[in-house]
Structure 1
Amino acid sequence: MARNAKRLVAAAILATAISGCQTANIDTAMTASFQADRSDEQLALAEKHFAQGSYGLAEKSYRKAVEATPKDGTAWLGLAASYDQLGRFDLSDRAYAQLIKLEGRRASILNNQGYSYLLRGDLVKARRVLSEAKSLAPSSTIIEGNWQLAAAG
């Protein structure tokens, strides 16, 4: 009888542990879904603020999007551009570094980074980065325009 009671207790503990694992997986999936929804909402809000020239509000929304989905390159790019517009180049450098780590040295990223150097008046770095962007996307008129600005300075 005591042996059966021990087996029942052991079975109850095992069942509780197993059900806890299944619940944890469901909670993780629900949390990931919630974070993606939150990130999408924050990105839409950030883009609206950025287009309106409200760079402080854009930065706040992009930062929330990055916190919700840290591997979202769009959020990192917007965050870096917001920091540029706010003159927080120390923070934009960190955001560009993270973005390049996530997505590599893509032409669109390097164009924005080169423009960042233009904003701060560092024409040597701007030319170097924009030249690399031009080599990756030689037909981009936006990159060409930024490169011309850097070359003229």
Structure 2
Amino acid sequence: MMSGCQTGGNTDPVQVADPPAFETGILTSNEANRLGRQQLAAGNYGMAERHFRDAVEHNQDDGPSWIGLAAAYDNLGRFELADRAYGQAIRIQGETLSILNNRGYSLLLRGDKRRALVQFDRALALDPTNPVIRNNVLLLRTGERGNKAVPL
């Protein structure tokens, strides 16, 4: 008898799992979003932008990734691109609390306090008890300098 490969009677196809995203270099939209959020929180805005851009290229209806991309652009001072990303997020999700607050923060970064306050007021109308938004409105109205407005 010879030994070697034998197919025998089993003709079931072998199921091969896809390799993990980190091995192929291709990230899913969810994974790219997660990495973008991590980089944004760490202050690595260029890397955050890259990951969020990957996420929206894979799934153009990924509202949270559009918001993250806009926030990354804001922090990079790329306000025209941030406005486009906020526009896409609004097209997908509508004017949510997070989008209104973050657009207000974006306007603050540009020095446009009047328009920022309009955005914060609209966000506050959606959730009058939200402490982040209430703080942002209070800071703008009182002109306190010690504290800073924050995005959601």
TM-score (normalizing by structure 2):
0.74
Aligned to 2:100: 110
Cα displacement string for residues 29-67 of structure 1 (whole angstroms, at most 9, x for unaligned residues): xxxxxxxx6111211211111111100000010000011
Letter paired with 1:129:
Q
- Looking at structure 2, the residues matched to 132 and 86 of structure 1 have their Cα atoms a distance apart, in angstroms, of 25
Shift of 1:120: 0.9
Query: Do the aligned partners of residues 78 and 90 (structure 1) sit closer, same or farther apart at CA in structure 2, a change above 3 Å counting?
Result: same
Confirm or deny: 8 A CA contact 1:66 1:76 kept in the other structure: yes
Cα displacement string for residues 62-92 of structure 1 (whole angstroms, at most 9, x for unaligned residues): 0000110110111001000000111111111
Q: 1:65 aligns with which of 34, 38, 55?
A: 55
Q: SS at the partner of 2:111?
A: coil
Which stretches in structure 1 are left out of the alignment for 5+ residues?
Answer: 1-36
Letter paired with 1:86:
L
Which of 1 and 2 has greater Rg? 1
Q: 1:75 aligns with which of 55, 65, 72?
A: 65
1:136 aligns with 2:126: yes
- Aligned residues with identical type, % of pairs: 47
Which stretches in structure 2 are left out of the alignment for 5+ residues?
Answer: 1-26, 144-152
More helix by share: 1
Shift of 1:100: 0.9
- Looking at structure 2, the residues matched to 91 and 149 of structure 1 have their Cα atoms a distance apart, in angstroms, of 27
